[in-house]
């Protein structure tokens, strides 16, 4: 008797009005597990075999999934595995940051197909919007050069930028980019590109990237702490990205740390901006990462002091995240490549005792995620795909008149 492999999948619903949700369930199961047969899909999702057959046929006709060669197991009937078609859909990601903006195109499974960068004025959105539209036009042109039919399959544009959103703070520094946060960015980008546009903060985008192709792949409960120019946390709760009422969930960089007589935001103590200030590195310098890596490898005293302080504060942040959200893991991600983040992870250990169990864990309490300048842009690009194809509570709601 053949042993059945475990399959991770959301549950489908075998009643009228849930086809949108069930489509997403099938796509998500194939994304998480790889190729699966119709019998595998029915067993994992709880859908009837007939419902799965109908969904598979529809998705295959739409070019979103494709069959592979027959698989024979023992004496039973051969089965046909189905997989996602990478070219079934595309998405564009746009990261707007204080010193550089990045645009990227990915396919349905997260492969990067085109990318470009541009310098955007951090305090002049009316001037910068033209730069962004030119950047998006350039990356779309590069992407479509050898794919004449691909434009019709673009799910939309996901935009990520520093938060918090909709908050009045007496701070005109580059920490917050307030001029951009009050600018009608989504409307202007949608009008200029003809595509649907969604907006999220950079930490949420990084969490989306981790779930799609990184350390949170296949997990339903994870907190992603993003250490960039600032600091934020992306929350994956119940398999969905949680953004909060105003899109500001996870803005842990604004939490006050330090001594009672000298409380400052976490991101002023443990962000890359705070490290660069200690090292006299200019964040707009194209060689910034090379300069930082050299100092890390030389065991520069200032880098060591920052790692010790940041590790202390982030240890408390991890403990807080575990206590509040009970995640399967906490992921530390960054836009800084090289040796810095592994050393910071080591400085955060040992973790404080918390409510999460330590025995029988399939993943560690804390793990290193992406350390890539393009991580936020990848997550921004994943957002339209997530909205279009991932299972969500809103997809199963049946409202009158819809």
Q: Which helix (H) or strand (E) holds 103?
A: strand 101-107
Residue-wise pLDDT for 185-228, tens only, equals: 999 999 999 999 999 999 999 999 998 889 998 899 999 999 99
pLDDT at res. 16: 47
Q: Which helix (H) or strand (E) holds 128?
A: helix 125-144
User: Considering just the CA atoms, what is the radius of gyration of the chain in Å?
Assistant: 22
Q: How confident is the model at residue 387 (pLDDT cuts 50, 70, 90)?
A: confident
Nearest to 268 by CA among 347, 173, 344, 351: 173
pLDDT at res. 210: 94
Q: Where are the beta strands (DSSP E) in 202-328?
A: 222-227, 231-237, 240-242, 256-257, 264-265
pLDDT at res. 106: 95
pLDDT at res. 95: 96
65 to each of 2, 31, 365, how far by Cα in Å? 26, 10, 35
Distance (Å, whole) CA 138 – CA 136: 5
Q: How confident is the model at residue 402 (pLDDT cuts 50, 70, 90)?
A: very low
Question: Does 9 have pLDDT greater than 70?
Answer: no
For CA atoms 293, 299, 300, 306, the dihedral sign is: positive
DSSP one-letter string for 135-192:
HHHHHHHHHHTT-TTGGGGEEEEEEEE----S---S--STTT-HHHHTS-HHHHHHHH
**Contact 320/283 with Cβ under 8 angstroms?**
no
**Contact 122/172 with Cβ under 8 angstroms?**
no
Distance (Å, whole) CA 195 – CA 217: 27
Question: Does 399 have pLDDT greater than 50?
Answer: no
Report which DSSP code applies to 123.
Answer: T
Share of the chain above pLDDT 90, in %: 61
Question: Does 365 have pLDDT greater than 90?
Answer: yes
Residue-wise pLDDT for 105-138, tens only, equals: 999 988 999 999 999 888 889 999 999 999 999 9
pLDDT at res. 17: 46
Please give the average per-residue pLDDT across 297-311, as a whole number: 97
pLDDT at res. 146: 81
Nearest to 382 by CA among 201, 211, 217: 211
Structural domains of the chain sorted by starting position, each given as residue range(s) with its CATH number in brackets: 19-84 (1.10.10.10), 89-206+379-389 (3.30.420.40), 215-372 (3.30.420.40)
Q: Is 312 helix (H, G, I), strand (E, B) or coil?
A: helix
Q: How confident is the model at residue 257 (pLDDT cuts 50, 70, 90)?
A: confident
Residues 6+ apart with CB under 8 A from 202: 95, 97, 160, 161, 162, 163, 226, 228, 230, 232, 376
Please give the average per-residue pLDDT across 284-302, as a whole number: 96
Residues 6+ apart with CB under 8 A from 262: none
pLDDT at res. 392: 63
Distance (Å, whole) CA 401 – CA 40: 35
**Contact 233/223 with Cβ under 8 angstroms?**
yes
- Supply angle C-alpha 290, 129, 250, rounded to 5: 65
Distance (Å, whole) CA 199 – CA 184: 11
């Amino acid at each position: 008797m053949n042993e059945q492999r475990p399959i991770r999948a959301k549950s489908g619903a075998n009643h009228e009005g849930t086809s949108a949700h069930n489509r997403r369930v099938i796509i998500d199961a194939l994304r998480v597990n790889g190729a699966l047969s119709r019998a595998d899909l029915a067993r994992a999702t709880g859908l009837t075999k007939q419902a799965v057959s109908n969904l598979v046929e529809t998705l295959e006709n739409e070019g979103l999934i494709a069959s592979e060669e027959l698989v024979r197991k023992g004496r039973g009937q051969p089965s046909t595995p189905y997989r996602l078609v990478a070219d079934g859909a595309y998405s564009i990601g746009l990261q707007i940051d204080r010193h550089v903006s990045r645009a990227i195109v990915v396919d349905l499974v997260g492969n990067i197909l085109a990318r470009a960068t541009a310098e955007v004025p951090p305090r002049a959105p009316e001037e910068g919007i033209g730069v962004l539209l030119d950047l998006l036009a350039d990356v779309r042109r590069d992407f479509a050069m050898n794919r004449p039919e691909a434009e019709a399959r673009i799910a939309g544009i996901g935009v990520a930028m520093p938060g918090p959103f909709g908050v009045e703070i007496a701070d005109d520094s580059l920490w917050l980019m307030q001029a951009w946060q009050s600018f009608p960015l989504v409307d202007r980008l949608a009008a200029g590109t003809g595509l649907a546009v969604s907006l999220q903060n950079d930490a949420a985008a990084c969490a989306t990237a981790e779930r799609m192709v990184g350390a949170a792949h296949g997990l339903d409960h994870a907190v992603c702490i993003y250490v960039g120019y600032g600091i934020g946390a992306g929350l994956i709760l119940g398999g969905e990205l949680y953004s909060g009422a105003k899109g500001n969930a996870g803005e842990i960089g604004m939490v006050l740390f330090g001594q009672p007589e000298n409380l400052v935001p976490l991101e002023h103590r443990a962000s890359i901006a705070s490290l660069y200030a200690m090292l006299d590195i200019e964040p707009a310098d194209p060689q910034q990462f090379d300069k930082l890596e050299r100092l890390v490898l030389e065991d520069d005293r200032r880098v060591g002091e920052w790692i010790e302080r940041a590790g202390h504060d982030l240890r408390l942040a991890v403990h807080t995240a575990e206590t509040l959200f009970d995640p399967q893991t906490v992921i530390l991600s960054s836009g800084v490549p090289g040796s810095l983040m592994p050393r910071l992870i080591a400085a955060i250990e040992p973790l404080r005792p918390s409510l999460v169990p330590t025995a029988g864990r399939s993943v560690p309490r804390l793990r290193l995620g992406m350390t890539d300048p393009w991580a936020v842009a990848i997550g921004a690009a994943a957002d339209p795909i997530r909205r279009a194809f991932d299972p969500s509570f809103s997809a199963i709601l049946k409202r009158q008149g819809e």
